[in-house]
A = this chain, B = another copy of it.
């Protein structure tokens, strides 16, 4: 993760004193994702997206993004992912080219949705929800996933211990994947919360873990529509966020029977949807 941090000279002011020193900052740089696809002579390259990201795990980010946007279906679609060496000489590391196998037809109608920030139809989110229904093969599968509240309490501390870059810079979002008994499986950080989740899902694809329907996804911050959408694509059934969810995140989680927990802090949390997967202290809930 050494290329995720840069050190810059600053003036640090603390009440009555100030000094020249150095501060560690999270690196933010654009990553362009290019897709190479088609057969034989008709092979072509298309720019799919540019995202502001923290360098590191770029191949996972590219694979995760293409998967959560519904452009590819699985790891077998991909022939190769690598940095591109043809653009501005000094920015090679900011272009990832994903080459698909010859027989794979990418679902590029979804790239428009993408530019339209996940609302393809009449700006109502319905188009997006339908797209997930159509594209994801993991939605609405049966699952017996549950997590004990006692285990849920422990997850934010475990994440913090593994959030190396955040600790140094205070500047990164994290996504973490846990087993249902609270074991940390994957953690990824980024200046963009959607990138942290794409990297995590890209890593999970790489490790052949999908669908993630017996895992818990922990988000270091808030839960937005976009994050729940990406999680749904990977078949995630339990999402716990340290911060607040948005109204549309709750709506989408409800639609897909995903358990959504918010404000997970200390021994407290709120359950917004699909409460049956959380084993809470007292069986009897006070009304």
Binding site for B on A (CB under 8 A): 6, 8, 10-20, 23, 25-32, 47, 49-52, 87-88, 90-91, 94-95, 115-119, 121-125, 149, 169-171, 191, 222, 224-226, 243-250, 262-263, 267-272, 275, 278, 280-282, 285-287
Contacts and interface: CB of A to CB of B under 8 A. Distances in A.
Contacts of A14: 267-268
Contacts of A94: 123-124
Given A118-B52, A191-B246, A222 B10 contact: no
Contacts of A12: 268, 270-271
A247 to B, nearest CB: 4
Q: Which 3 A-B pairs have the closest CB atoms?
A: A28-B246, A171-B244, A88-B122
A269 B13 contact: yes
Given A191-B224, A248-B52, A124 B91 contact: yes
A13 B152 CA distance: 11
5 contacts: A17-B282, A23-B262, A28-B248, A52-B226, A91-B122
Contact of A286 (B20, B125, B225, B249): B20
Contacts of A88: 121-124
Contacts of A25: 244-247, 250
A13 B268 contact: yes
B28 A247 contact: yes
Contacts of A117: 30, 49-52
Contacts of A287: 19-20
Nearest to A283: B18
